[in-house]
Structure 1
Amino acid sequence: VLAAVVVVVVVVDVVVVVVVVAVVVAVVVVAVVEYSGSSSSSRVVVVVVVVVVVVVVVVVVVVVVLVAVVVVAVVVAKCCIVVVVEVVVVVEVEVVVVVVVVVVVVVVLAVVVVLVIIVLVEVVVVVVVVVVVVVVVVVVVVVVVVIIVVYADRTLYVIKF
């Protein structure tokens, strides 16, 4: 039961983050294209504002997911009379996921901002850069998820035996 809960938690986190990042990237691209006729400084301001808003949204979403998962873990523990330590493990894994996710999202958005500012005039280049960044993010998230699942599995093994 616990392993299943951990896997569901990780999958939900990844899906939420990927969706949010995709929306953010789309918004950034639209903002850049929309303001391509404006001065460079105003376009930079637009991109920076969009990215800041997105970072805040991502953090809020991830925290909400974390709270939901903790509540679910507690409910599962009460219903199934699971050992409290196992709930703690689920929460620990979730906290690790949250920290990694927030760090990755912030780093990626920072990179996107820098690249957008550097190649602001070339919208086509911006789109290519954004696509590359999204691919990199997905790969990083998958690797992180695999590492966390392995870590969680070993932790559960140690606790149960």
Structure 2
Amino acid sequence: MTKKKKKEKKNKRTSIISKRKTSYVVAAAVIVVAVVEVLVVIVVVVVVVVVVVVVVVVVVVVVVVVVVIVVVMIVVTVVVVVVVVVVVVVVVVVVVVVVEVVVEVVVVVVIIIET
């Protein structure tokens, strides 16, 4: 073999090896891009799930707070109504007792005066 043919043969081997290296690099790049895409999808799904969970928790907390406020308002209203009714009943009873006592005193005074 001449020097030129040896060199061409060597160049062919080198070009085949470099083509293989290039194809390995391309394959590795494709794998890396695929892995990164999968990771990005996973991160997006996790972020969406976290946002949905946070929104649901906030809505539940707001609903619970509103229900508690409504229950407290109802309880306060019932207590106020009961207190007002009790005060009115006590005032009526006191007035009736005072009127009875005054009437009895007047009757006793009239009886004493007539006798």
Structure 2 length as normaliser, TM-score? 0.37
The structure in which a higher percent of residues are helix is: 2
